[in-house]
Amino acid sequence: MSEEITNDSGLPLKPVYSVEDRRADEALPGTFPYSRGIHRDMYRGRLWTMRQYAGFGTAAESNQRYKFLLKQGQTGLSVAFDLPTQIGYDSDHPMAHGEVGKVGVAIDSLEDMGILLDGIPLHEVSTSMTINATAPMLLLLYQLVAERQGCPPEKITGTVQNDILKEYAARGTYIFPPKPSMRLVTDLFAYCREHLPNWNTISISGYHMREAGATASEEIAFTLSHAIAYVEAAIAAGLAVDDFAPRLSFFFACHMDFFEEVAKFRAARRMWAQIMRDRFDARDPRSQALRFHTQTGGVTLAAQQPLNNVVRTTLEALSAVLGGTQSLHTNAYDEALGLPSQNAAELALRTQQMIGFETAVPLVADPLGGSYYVESLTDRVEEDAQATMAEVDERGGAVKCIESGWTQGRIAESAYRFQQRVESGSRVVVGVNKYATDDAERVEIMRISPHHQEEQARALAKLRSGRPKAVVDEHLEAIREAAQGTTNLMPVLKAALADYVTIGECCEVLRGVFGEYRPVEAVR
């Protein structure tokens, strides 16, 4: 008897699939439940947004990289922020030492945001910002710069990640405890409904949980469970579901199990459509249609034989396109070694362009629809994800599962099982545990100057010396009073940021009111 073959998620695979394995009732693309795609013609009308994630060092350096990528044909910006910016510390704070500009761009104030976006027409460019704990402040800075460019509110388009739950579950760049953090999330929802009607208010992210070790089905299970928590919080805050749900978006990883990734995207769309219609009584089709950005897998890249990563990224990107993504970032081949070099970033963009313009893949909506294998695998991934979501519900919902450490423990167990397979050799990683060589490939490694922190600190000192202290104190007190109450925090934060109060100063006040989150030990 032959040994059972399973995929990366542990799902058993048959040697061949037939008509009995596929659904007979699958709807066409653009119709409920959208498993075949959210648009009837998909990419025939318009290609996905090619949005390369970038940001490093100073705002001026990142601005030059953005202009380079736009010149090469990128169709949207995606901003990476450094760790101090992500967790609410100014660049001259002791906690920021050694991290300024390292994994993204340092943004302390409106001055920095103005430099970052200088010369970029925000009425023409859609921008995604990967920021969570400090998302309200970064969005407001972006809005302030757009306003100074004369950009009307309805032309300010893009996405702010604003997904704090996955930070507790997998990534770690949180500041405040879950309850006040959820308040900030829903304050941003309400603010954008009134002031930024075409801004995507959240990108509910499975990417980081997948990178931390979750399986494909766990990725969508935890992501959709978190989305349910956000919808419930918004409704509890007095928002009507069809007023905010059309601006929800999602963010998924795409790893190397090619067909399972396609099935994952199809299953996620179907599940979300049913959740919104049946659980939340959403009637607007835009509330039911799951729109998502995809990034190819960071953890699938290898430092050994790094040029192999070009092939990995290409396969993952093709899988995302076949799965119906609305937006895509392709990782650079040198990212297992450091920040992407300009040449590697350009090649990553060219990868998307070749899929888009040379392969003819975009000419047909859902080209894998009807595949016995893909249809069956979509059902299996959905069944597995539904079982995990049922367990989340039984344990009190996504927030309680995070607070108890259960979600983190579940992801850690999956990561451990996968790593065991890699170390035993049963899961092959070419160039790492099979076909490895002693010859090191020489690739350019991008290095960040150690002087960035000094430059940022000098700029901050100059900024602070030029501000009226009484005005700053008045703004900080207004933030404190609003945080102690229940009013929307966005207007008082915007007023402060417009007068060059820094992100760190705003967060220091909020820390004093909300406190700081301390993680619990994971439970099983």
Confidence check: pLDDT of 45 > 90 = no
Q: Can you give the pLDDT at residue 182?
A: 94
CA distance 187 to 172: 22
DSSP 8-state code for residue 57 = B
Cβ pair 196, 223 in contact under 8 A = no
Q: Can you give the pLDDT at residue 521?
A: 63
CA distance 504 to 472: 13
Please state the pTM of the whole predicted model.
0.91
Residues in a beta bridge with 254: 296
Q: Per mean pLDDT, which range of 50-54, 233-237, 511-515 is the poorest?
A: 50-54
Q: Can you give the pLDDT at residue 56?
A: 81
Phi and psi at 344, nearest 5°, equal -70, -40
Dihedral (C-alpha) 103, 104, 109, 112: value to the nearest 10 degrees?
A: 130
CA distance 278 to 269: 14
233: confidence class by pLDDT, cuts 50, 70, 90? very high
Q: Which tokens in the block code for residue 175?
A: 């500041």
Q: Can you give the pLDDT at residue 24?
A: 66
The tens digit of pLDDT for each residue in 245-296 reads 999 999 999 999 999 999 999 999 999 999 999 999 999 999 999 999 999 9
Which whole number is the average pLDDT over 340-360?
Answer: 94
DSSP 8-state code for residue 442 = P
CA distance 40 to 37: 7
Map out the domains of the chain with their CATH numbers.
19-424 (3.20.20.240), 453-514 (no CATH)
Q: Can you give the pLDDT at residue 1?
A: 43
Q: Give every CB contact of residue 46 below 8 A, 6+ residues apart in sequence.
A: none
Q: Can you give the pLDDT at residue 2?
A: 55
CA distance 261 to 317: 10
Confidence check: pLDDT of 240 > 70 = yes
The tens digit of pLDDT for each residue in 77-107 reads 889 999 999 999 999 999 999 999 988 999 9
CA distance 91 to 455: 9
Q: Which amino acid is at 491?
A: P
